[in-house]
Structure 1
Amino acid sequence: MRNRRSSPRNSSLTFLILLLTLSIFVCSSQVLAKSRRPITDAETRQKKLQCYADIDSGLWGGQCKSSMISRENCALRCLSPACYELIYESDPLEEGEKDLIRSQEFKYCMHKLSSGESLEGVRGAFGH
């Protein structure tokens, strides 16, 4: 049996192939992340209707059915947990509150999230 020792040339070639494969993977994943299509208003409305249906059926628990504002907070969390946490978690909507600025931030957050973009700068993007 012959001793199979790899030559320095073979090791270098293997390393270069591995490096090239890795760089192709990294570059293609970055392109794919940036080329994702943002969610449309129609898709958002449809998804929110499904969230309301899930809440009404009890999937989100009784606390989400205790009031209209609880239902709305749960629907927003259902729609996008990450955006809800960023925009509303520390200060949920209250009865009678219409917060147009945070509503725009939430919509912007969903747009960026669905596009594969960073959520940095979303909070406060429309003034506070």
Structure 2
Amino acid sequence: MAKKKPCRPTLFKCSVATLLCFFATSIFASNPSSPVPISDEEISERKQACYADIDRSGLWGTQCRSSLIEKENCALKCTSAVCYELIYGSDPLEEGERDYIRSQEYRYCMRRSSVGLALDQVKGAFDNDVTVRPAAFSLPGSVRITH
């Protein structure tokens, strides 16, 4: 009696189907292209921890405790040194100043930074226009309304 040879086209099709299933499940199981950015709550928690650190330890120096605005600059630097340098580095907050535009840019920087995105378009992102975003953090698909 002759030995039956395995049907090569069927074996090939099964192998391809198995590989496709493996890759499909690995792609859908973890989607690295949509990480979750840091939330406003997490930013606030980090900043509060920095305030506490400034008050408790002398590591930040006496300058950080010399005034409320110096303490704020130090807390921003502590929360994210990279974003502080980008947004406030060349022009730190001054006594009595409330800069809502730079505050938005700073939080936007932290969100982008937290998911590993480039920070080159952060500075100036909120100048002279209103940005309407469908979620707290939106990158592609943001709607810009200029006036």
1:36 is the counterpart of 2:35 = yes
Helix, strand or coil at the partner of 1:92? coil
| Greater relative CO, 1 or 2 (CA 8 Å, sep 6+) | 1
Structure 2-normalised TM-score?
0.63
Q: What is the aligned partner in structure 1 of residue 53 from structure 2? A: 54
Structure with the greater alpha carbon radius of gyration = 2
Q: How far does residue 124 in structure 1 lie from its aligned partner after superposition?
A: 0.3
| Length, aligned pairs only | 98
Gaps of 5+ in 1: 1-30
Q: What is the aligned partner in structure 1 of residue 72 from structure 2? A: 72
The separation in 2 between residues aligned to 1:97 and 1:65, in whole angstroms, is: 18
**Structure with the higher fraction of residues in strand conformation:** 2
Moved runs in structure 1, 4+ residues, more than 4 A?
A: none
Residues 90-117 of structure 1, C-alpha deviation per residue, up to 9 Å, x if partnerless?
Answer: 0000000000000000010000000110
1:112–1:119 contact (8 Å) kept in structure 2: yes
Q: How far does residue 59 in structure 1 lie from its aligned partner after superposition?
A: 2.5
Q: How far does residue 37 in structure 1 lie from its aligned partner after superposition?
A: 2.2
1:125 is the counterpart of 2:114 = no
The separation in 1 between residues aligned to 2:85 and 2:75, in whole angstroms, is: 13
The separation in 2 between residues aligned to 1:85 and 1:79, in whole angstroms, is: 11
User: Amino acid of the residue matched to residue 119 of structure 2?
Assistant: L
Residues 61-108 of structure 1, C-alpha deviation per residue, up to 9 Å, x if partnerless?
Answer: 111000000000000000000000000010000000000000000010
The separation in 2 between residues aligned to 1:113 and 1:81, in whole angstroms, is: 11
Structure 1-normalised TM-score?
0.72
1:114 is the counterpart of 2:114 = yes
Q: What is the aligned partner in structure 2 of residue 89 from structure 1? A: 89
1:36–1:116 contact (8 Å) kept in structure 2: no
1:101 is the counterpart of 2:101 = yes
User: What is the CA RMSD across the aligned residues, in angstroms?
Assistant: 1.6
